[in-house]
């Protein structure tokens, strides 16, 4: 397996055809696995680190400049975002209630907390690539 600190975007760009196929197959595997089993795994605290690592790999693979790989990853991220939104559609909206005014993170669900580190990485990567 690739070390988590591998710059997968560069590994893909500079890699042989076999390496590129591996990265594409890894994206397919991770997306399928996370889509089918993510909701089960995220409920297992002893697997949280492995789960977050899988999401980190997918985040790194998402940076690869190849349309098909981007589409594969985008499908998973879209599914995850829609699922989290359906779970709690108003949690990102500022509400003028006393509870929320005192603690704006009060409505963040436990599930969203699990994904927070990955979402923070997405924001950092987005700022870096757009700024």
pLDDT tens readout for residues 106-115: 445 677 778 8
* Tens of pLDDT, residues 38-87: 989 988 989 989 999 999 999 999 999 999 999 999 999 999 988 888 87
CB distance 62 to 73 below 8 Å: yes
Report phi then psi at 43, rounded to 5. Answer: -90, -5
Encode pLDDT of 9-31 as tens digits.
999 999 999 999 999 999 999 99
Q: Is the pLDDT of residue 118 over 90?
A: no
Highest mean pLDDT among 1-5, 64-68, 109-113, 127-131: 64-68
pTM as predicted: 0.76
* Measured torsion, CA atoms of residues 59, 65, 71, 72, in degrees rounded to the nearest 10: -50
Check residue 97 and give its pLDDT: 41
């Amino acid at each position: 397996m690739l070390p988590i600190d591998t710059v997968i975007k560069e590994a893909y760009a500079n890699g042989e055809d076999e390496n590129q196929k591996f990265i594409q197959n890894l994206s397919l595997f991770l997306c399928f696995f996370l889509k089918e089993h993510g909701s089960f795994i995220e409920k297992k605290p002893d697997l949280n680190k492995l789960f977050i690592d899988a999401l980190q790999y997918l985040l790194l693979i998402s940076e690869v400049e190849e349309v098909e790989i981007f589409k594969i990853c985008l499908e998973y991220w879209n599914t995850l975002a829609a699922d989290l939104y359906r779970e709690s559609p108003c949690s990102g909206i500022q509400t003028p209630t006393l509870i929320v005014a005192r603690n704006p993170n009060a409505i963040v669900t436990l599930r969203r907390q699990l994904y927070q580190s990955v979402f923070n990485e997405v924001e950092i990567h987005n700022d870096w690539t757009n700024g």
